[in-house]
Structure 1
Amino acid sequence: MNGYFMTTERIGFSLWREEDLLKAIELWGNPKVTKFITAKGKITEEEIKQRLKKEIETYENSEIQYWPIYLLETKEFVGCCGLRPYDISSNTLEMGIHLKEKYWGFGLAEEACNEVIKYAFNTIKVRSLFAGHNPNNKASERLLKKLGFKYTHEEFYPPTGLNHPSYLMSKNDFKFI
């Protein structure tokens, strides 16, 4: 953990660094976390290294990433939540979250996503946010609807080989601006 650039009541947002490989493996090396992310259901250590490298490069190029998040009280690594480029021509970014299994069901996903959405609209000034989920991930579907995303279409997601329900949110759709 290298300091927080953004916080909520319980969560601190940091930046991925090359030294964070063990944390990345903790998260993306768990098949329960990755079963909805890839068709294989799990990600190899080499793929995790590439994912971490891509997150770092995305930040270097765009100043966004799926930022690592920590509990403020204990400094425990929880997962990641953030943004990535989606449709630059329309000023739309993609929002996503991946939490370690231990932290499911405590409202941390909603809390982290709400802060990322506020950051996207108020700080970066995006026009809209995109989000999608594996059609078998009902928890993600509930979360996106609860956050205020509106279903728009099905979009093919190559890593799973499936059409994922896809959603958009404009600044007017977000309830916590």
Structure 2
Amino acid sequence: MREFFLTTDRLGFSVWNENDTFDALELWGNPEVTKFIVADGKMLEEQVHQRLKNEIETYNNAKIQYWPIYLIETHENIGCCGLRPYDSKKNILEMGIHLKDKYWGKGFAQEACLAVIDYAFNTLQVDALFSGHNPKNTASARLLKKLGFTYTHDEFYPPTGLYHPSYLMTKQDYMDKKAEVNEI
């Protein structure tokens, strides 16, 4: 049974470990998931193993990662959502999410991202969050805007070889969005 360090109504966040190869392959080995993440749209098994290793190393070094997320009810892995270092001098982390395609369109991405945003600002005390998306990924663009991120620029992303629309959410943006929600 997995332990969760963060939960929402439906989701539990855990930490990747060496025993998570099956979940990692099911997620990043799926071309529907990776079509916007890497240049050729597919990750080879060796690349998935390296991605898992990188997530574990990021956690060991920075205590953050794109954490695996599970349905609380069934403990089934649905993908990952989390943080990685971005600009330590300005206290900015990068937020991202990768969901298995059968969980798209069910509100899980927004639910997971909101939990990570709260965690980043309230627990980790970051000053801002960065996020970007493949220019062809319109669903991610809609999600980031709905979450309250503001477009700032296009940034080159080496894994895809493309310039990705990039967004920022400052702590003040977060506080304003939270106040707006509480007024409703």
What TM-score does the superposition give when structure 2 sets the normalisation length? 0.94
Size of the alignment, in residue pairs?
A: 177
| Aligned twin of 2:10 | 10
What RMSD over aligned residues (CA atoms) do the two structures have, in Å? 0.9
- Structure 1 stretches lacking a partner, 5+ long: none
After superposition, give the CA deviation of every residue in 1:94-126 in whole Å (9 maximum; x if it has no partner).
000000001000000000000000000000000
Is the 1:27–1:100 contact (alpha carbons within 8 Å) kept by the matching residues of 2? yes
* Aligned counterparts of 2:142 and 2:105: Cα–Cα separation in 1: 12
Shift of 1:147: 0.2
Shift of 1:49: 0.5
**Matching of residue 78 in structure 1 with residue 78 in structure 2:** yes
* Aligned counterparts of 1:173 and 1:89: Cα–Cα separation in 2: 20
| Aligned twin of 2:182 | none
Is the 1:2–1:15 contact (alpha carbons within 8 Å) kept by the matching residues of 2? no
What TM-score does the superposition give when structure 1 sets the normalisation length? 0.98
| Aligned twin of 1:98 | 98
- Give secondary structure in 2 for the equivalent of 1:156: strand
Aligned counterparts, 1:93-172, within 5 A: 93-172=93-172
Is the 1:118–1:176 contact (alpha carbons within 8 Å) kept by the matching residues of 2? no
* Counterpart amino acid of residue 47 in structure 1: Q
- Give secondary structure in 1 for the equivalent of 2:178: coil
* Aligned counterparts of 2:78 and 2:113: Cα–Cα separation in 1: 13
* Aligned counterparts of 1:88 and 1:50: Cα–Cα separation in 2: 24
- Structure 2 stretches lacking a partner, 5+ long: 180-184
* Counterpart amino acid of residue 176 in structure 1: K
